[in-house]
Amino acid sequence: MTLSMSDIEMERMHREKKEGVDRRAMSRQNRGIYYLKLSRNDVMATAFCAVFGCIYESFSFGVYSYFMIYSFLIPLILGGIPFLLLGLRFLGGTESAGLDKKPGNGGASQLSASVLTASRLWHAGIATLTVGFLFKGVLSIYGTTSGLTKVYWIIGGMLLVAGLAFSGGKSLIGTE
Amino acid sequence: MKNIWRQYGFVIATALFLTVFTGYALLDTFVIPKSYAMVEESDREQDIVIVQKNDDSENEGIAKELGGAEESDGTNEQDMADKQKASTGKKGGKRGSGEVSQPESAATTYKDDKISIELTEYQVNDTAVYVADVWLNDASCLKTALANDTYGKNVKEDTSEIAKEHQAILAVNGDFYGARNGGYVIREGTLYRESSSGSEDLVIYQDGSFGIIREGEISARDLLEQGAWNVLSFGPALVTGGEVAVKAGDEVGRAMASNPRTAIGYVEEGHYVFVVSDGRTNESEGLSLSELAQFLKSLGVETAYNLDGGGSSTMVFQDRVVNNPTTGGQRIAERSVSDIVYVGY
């Protein structure tokens, strides 16, 4: 006997309801975990930029660059902090959803395409701006300039805007 | 494999783009040479200098310009004629007007009819400082030269090599114009770049006098009209009107750090000082800009200007590198630079 897709779906919904699993809450939990993972990665990037800037400045014979010193702020302010807050927001209020029975792991396959695309574009923008800051810092300390630095600002800005605009910002902050 | 690409493909593509582009940007900034123009002999009689462009697409403000101003105040026709003849001297060995008697030279001195140089070493704040005291009867003996006689980006040569090619008696590194995309570049009456960087510039006029201007307040073309012969764009001005112009708190970072330094000063008509300090070594700590300015003031200069320092700081006297140039302090070696200021014919 061949069951239609709708029959299979209905059967799964009945089973999950019986097991006390709230799919919508599971989706929120997965998203929350995903955002926390992103935040963790951003914090690691922040730490790398801070350490790199310190080491580079220590060998620059007293010449310093604000771009090098403050490069760590880009992944922190644009990534680490907002995604930490988003992650905590999505994880909050999910205790009663019976999620312990089917915990998610925040894997990309468990999230909608719009969330993934928006966050990937956003983080590509963060990466571009961060590399731009480090590059500009190296140049400033050496005492030279390059017209190519503006490429980082333009592309980084465009990627951030694309990440926000991909689904009107809703997929990122979860109003869809 | 397909799953990995689906999961991480975007990240890999972003990382690849950033790596490739940054690598290219670093090569473009520090390595890839770009020649914009060759240095041509100036023709003072026509007052026009033609700059031959090698690459039209890379033009950064090269102009066909008037080479000099009208006859300056107090300069008679004979002096001008002498200057004209002297200025056509190039590395081919052409000399200025008339005969120059056999020069008297030693390890630290040089003297002929037009040029007198005395080299002295000082110890200032645990730093070796080399001072060349220069007297010129002919202002046109104070010159500048570009690496490979080429105006461009990443076109570099050691100071000693450029000095040798131009038979310089005394030379120091210049303002390393090639490291920046902006800043006036006027050399031997030719305008190469007129884009402003907002910095303080040293103007060396045809009569040998010095002036300090700020880019943006006067255009490079107007400077040429006023008789500017060489304009250096690095800074800051160290001494103006006989007083120290840079404070200890100015330009934090660059000013406060002790580093090798290069500076040039104007004492009075025909009298100049070239100053180079060592630094970044155990023997010589280096000077801050404030310390350098104080030292120059003690020499009695009216106007003094800071040129490119750090690993670029090099003084060459009679084909011998006088100081200990170093970039990181571990190895004593010249750094290739884009231009020099020198005394010669």
Closest Cα in chain B, distance from residue A153 (Å):
13
Residue A14 has pLDDT above 80, yes or no: no
Mean pLDDT of all residues in A13-31: 67
> Does A51 contact chain B (CB < 8 Å)?
no
One-letter amino acid at B108 equals T
3-class DSSP assignment, residue B111 = strand
Q: Shortest CB distance from A64 goes to which of B18, B253, B328?
A: B253
Residue from B163, B247, B144, B151 nearest B203 by CA: B144
A-chain residue closest to B30, CA distance: A144
Interface probe for A, chosen from B3, B14, B173, B338 (most Cβ of A below 10 Å), is B14
Give the dihedral of Cα atoms A29, A32, A36, A42; nearest 10 deg: 150
List the helix and strand counts (H, then E) for chain A.
8, 0
Q: What's the pLDDT score for residue A18? A: 60
> Does A131 contact chain B (CB < 8 Å)?
yes
Q: Which residues contact B213 (CB under 8 A, 6 or more apart)?
A: B200, B201, B203, B223
Higher pLDDT among residues A25 and A121, named by residue: A121
Count of residues making up chain B: 345
How far is residue B108's CA from residue B92's CA, in Å, rounded to a whole number? 26
Question: Are the C-beta atoms of B72 and B207 separated by less than 8 Å?
Answer: yes
Q: What's the pLDDT score for residue A9? A: 73
Using a CB-CB cut-off of 8 Å, the residues of chain A touching B28 are 146, 148
| pLDDT mean by block of 10 residues, chain B; 345 residues | 77 95 96 90 46 40 38 38 35 41 85 96 95 97 97 96 97 95 93 92 96 95 94 95 83 66 97 96 92 96 96 96 92 95 97
Per-residue exposure over B155-180, b if at least 16 CB sit within 10 Å of its own CB, e if not: bbbbbbbbbebbbbbbbbbbbbbbbb
Q: What's the pLDDT score for residue A103? A: 46
One-letter amino acid at B305 equals Y
Residue A170 has pLDDT above 70, yes or no: no
Q: What's the pLDDT score for residue A93? A: 55
Q: What's the pLDDT score for residue A60? A: 87
> Does A105 contact chain B (CB < 8 Å)?
no
Residue A168 has pLDDT above 80, yes or no: no
Q: What's the pLDDT score for residue A100? A: 43
Average pLDDT over all residues of chain A: 82
- Sole residue written with tokens 């959803």: A97
Q: What's the pLDDT score for residue A48? A: 97
Count of residues making up chain A: 176
Count CB pairs under 8 A between chains A and B. 61
Q: What interface predicted TM-score (ipTM) does this complex get?
A: 0.78
Q: What's the pLDDT score for residue B223? A: 94
Residue from B79, B87, B100, B7 nearest B49 by CA: B87
